[in-house]
Chains A and B, each alone.
Chain A
Amino acid sequence: MNLGLNTEQPQIMHLDLNSAFTSAEQQAWPSLRGRPIGVTNRLSKECCVIAASYEAKALGIKVGMRRSQALAICPDFILLETDPSKYTYMYGGLLKIMKSYSDKVKMKSIDEGIIDFHGTQHIYKRSLEQVGYEIKQRIYDELGNYMHINVGIGTNQFLAKTAASLHKPNGLDIITHVNLQDVYASLKLEDLTGIAHGYGSRLRVHGIHTPLEFLYADVDMLRRRVFGGINGVHWYHRLRGFEVDDYETQLSMVGRQWVVANPSNDDAYLRSCLHYLSETTGVKLRYRNVKARGVGVWLSFANGGGWSDKKMMRSTFYTNQDIWSHVARLFDGRPKHMVVKTMGVYLYKFTPSLRSQLSILDDVTKADYLTKAVDEINDFYGSFTVLPADTLTGKKTVKQKIPFGGTEYFDLLLKRA
């Protein structure tokens, strides 16, 4: 049967730092090596494990578990608070190594990324497998002897990532058109990146129970019946090793959320913390060189309920003063007697910033100069050297923590460093 597989020599390499946060901690603290450890954003009685070491995972401790659950499984489980400077260093080191091989590098998250080797064959007169082992050695030499990486090589990003997940930790695998079916035969549907419980159920309803059956499925059937659109065609090509995921994602939202250190309904306390979150959101917005039109605020309450509100403004905004004035107006509409447990602020509906254009309105120009001046001072002397007086409580209370998913936060820290 001719499956129409991509027979090109694999040129995409996926790198994945194994248990990045906990490995960084075990690298820094030798006495923690070989022990079940995890990290959390803020240590508290019921905090969550946001990363677990391989030793902890082997005992059944999973990411997202409560501290009490983890301790019930293993009373010796060690939980540390996250250390952003350590992870920024690791992220920067990984990025530096990757960029030394190709200019086509894309970080997929804070601990994994893709190198596209197309057009570099004349530079590296050796196989990508050899390059992969060299990168592993460089990670070991340059980041630390407890830092390990999984390497996957394939003809597209999907197969490279699949290859990188085959033998954890510290594996190196290559998927080509020759072994593609053997690899699929060893996997379950939900092992495929992008196929979670929902898609898995949908595929089974249509008689597709394994990755091999998924590969053999007809493109029209995938498009019309299973996925109901172009997504089915993308899956048809993706499974065959053709690139369909090489696109830039659009920024749709920036924001900041915070678990209130001492749940409260005290207006001054909550307002100071929310104002502080608005200031950090403003920094993120300007770092991305965009202006926003939409603003939203949400709260969750200690009794389990929640509240949210959002508004689309007539004109765009980007200064901290504008952001806070919009946020404060929304915040005033909350049920004031409720005890707040978590709060968040977000901005959306972005347009590129045109801050280099002078406004004909003097007030707008002054606000722009002020924002630029404050940003420059804070860049040079440290975040929040200059800040609104009413955010002082927030500054003392809200700690900068590690966000999931995106890499913008680390890119911002690297730029400042």
Chain B
Amino acid sequence: MDPTIEINERVDVVAIYKKRGDTSTLCVPYKMRWRGREIALTELALRHPTVAGKRMIHVFHMGDGTNGYRLEFDAEALTWTLIAMIGGRP
């Protein structure tokens, strides 16, 4: 079974921008508000870039200790979108 839950909804995000470090940790989402709930993002699992036409998209795979979230930051539109999530072990 595929446990991925597709969401594709814009979300509010608080991110931390560091002064120095490698590109994978210079910008890290810290928490997000989704459907009225505030979720603290405690783990950066993977960050990788991708493109949608000429638009640069930064994909952040984040964890909150239980669930995993795929967040995308559109560097042109400056929007954060929660693309999908996978729940933790039942």
Q: Which residues of A contact B (CB under 8 A)?
A: 24, 27-32, 35, 43, 77-81, 85-86, 88-89, 142, 144, 380-382, 385, 416-417
B50 within 8 A of A: yes
Task: Specify which of A24, A81, A142, A380 is in contact with B54 (CB 8 Å cutoff).
Answer: A380
Q: In the complex, what residues of A have CB within 8 A of residue B54's CB?
A: 380-382
> Within the complex, what minimum Cβ distance (angstroms) separates B58 from chain A?
11
- Cα A142 to Cα B67 in complex, Å, equals 23
- Cα A86 to Cα B50 in complex, Å, equals 8
* A-contacting 9-mer, from B11-19, B29-37, B41-49, B73-81: B41-49
Smallest CB gap from B67: residue in A: A31
Q: Is A31 within 8 A of B89, CB to CB?
A: yes
- Cα A416 to Cα B52 in complex, Å, equals 11
Give the number of residue pairs across the A-B interface with Cβ within 8 Å: 67
Q: Is B1 within 8 A of A78, CB to CB?
A: yes
> Within the complex, what minimum Cβ distance (angstroms) separates A163 from chain B?
29
Q: Is A31 within 8 A of B63, CB to CB?
A: yes
- A80-B2, A81-B2 known; A28 and B52 CB under 8 Å? no
Q: Is B87 within 8 A of A144, CB to CB?
A: no
Interface code B48-90, partner A: CB below 8 Å = 1, 0 otherwise?
1111111000010101001110100000000000000011110
Q: Is B2 within 8 A of A30, CB to CB?
A: no
Task: Specify which of A27, A80, A417 is in contact with B4 (CB 8 Å cutoff).
Answer: A80
Q: Is B51 within 8 A of A382, CB to CB?
A: yes
Task: Specify which of B45, B59, B63, B67 is in contact with A144 (CB 8 Å cutoff).
Answer: B45
Q: In the complex, what residues of A have CB within 8 A of residue B63's CB?
A: 30-31
Q: Is B67 within 8 A of A85, CB to CB?
A: no
- A79-B1, A79-B2 known; A417 and B45 CB under 8 Å? no
Q: Which residues of B contact A (CB under 8 A)?
A: 1-4, 22, 24, 43, 45-46, 48-54, 59, 61, 63, 66-68, 70, 86-89
- A30-B43, A31-B66 known; A85 and B50 CB under 8 Å? yes
> Within the complex, what minimum Cβ distance (angstroms) separates A100 from chain B?
14
- A31-B67, A31-B87, A382-B54 known; A86 and B46 CB under 8 Å? yes
Q: Is A416 within 8 A of B51, CB to CB?
A: yes
- Cα A372 to Cα B51 in complex, Å, equals 21
Q: In the complex, what residues of A have CB within 8 A of residue B89's CB?
A: 31, 35
Smallest CB gap from A24: residue in B: B46
Q: In the complex, what residues of B have CB within 8 A of residue A85's CB?
A: 48-50, 59
Q: Give 10 A-B contacts (CB < 8 Å), ordered by A residue.
A: A27-B61, A29-B86, A30-B68, A31-B88, A35-B89, A78-B1, A85-B48, A86-B48, A144-B46, A417-B49
Q: In the complex, what residues of A have CB within 8 A of residue B52's CB?
A: 382
Q: In the complex, what residues of B have CB within 8 A of residue A81's CB?
A: 2
> Within the complex, what minimum Cβ distance (angstroms) separates B60 from chain A?
10
- Cα A28 to Cα B7 in complex, Å, equals 17
Smallest CB gap from B90: residue in A: A76
Task: Specify which of A35, A77, A382 is in contact with B53 (CB 8 Å cutoff).
Answer: A382
- Cα A415 to Cα B70 in complex, Å, equals 25
Q: Is B2 within 8 A of A28, CB to CB?
A: no
Q: In the complex, what residues of B have CB within 8 A of residue A382's CB?
A: 51-54
Q: Is A385 within 8 A of B67, CB to CB?
A: no
> Within the complex, what minimum Cβ distance (angstroms) separates A289 from chain B?
23
Q: Is B2 within 8 A of A78, CB to CB?
A: yes
Smallest CB gap from A143: residue in B: B46
> Within the complex, what minimum Cβ distance (angstroms) separates B86 from chain A?
5
- Cα A417 to Cα B54 in complex, Å, equals 9
Q: In the complex, what residues of A have CB within 8 A of residue B61's CB?
A: 27-29
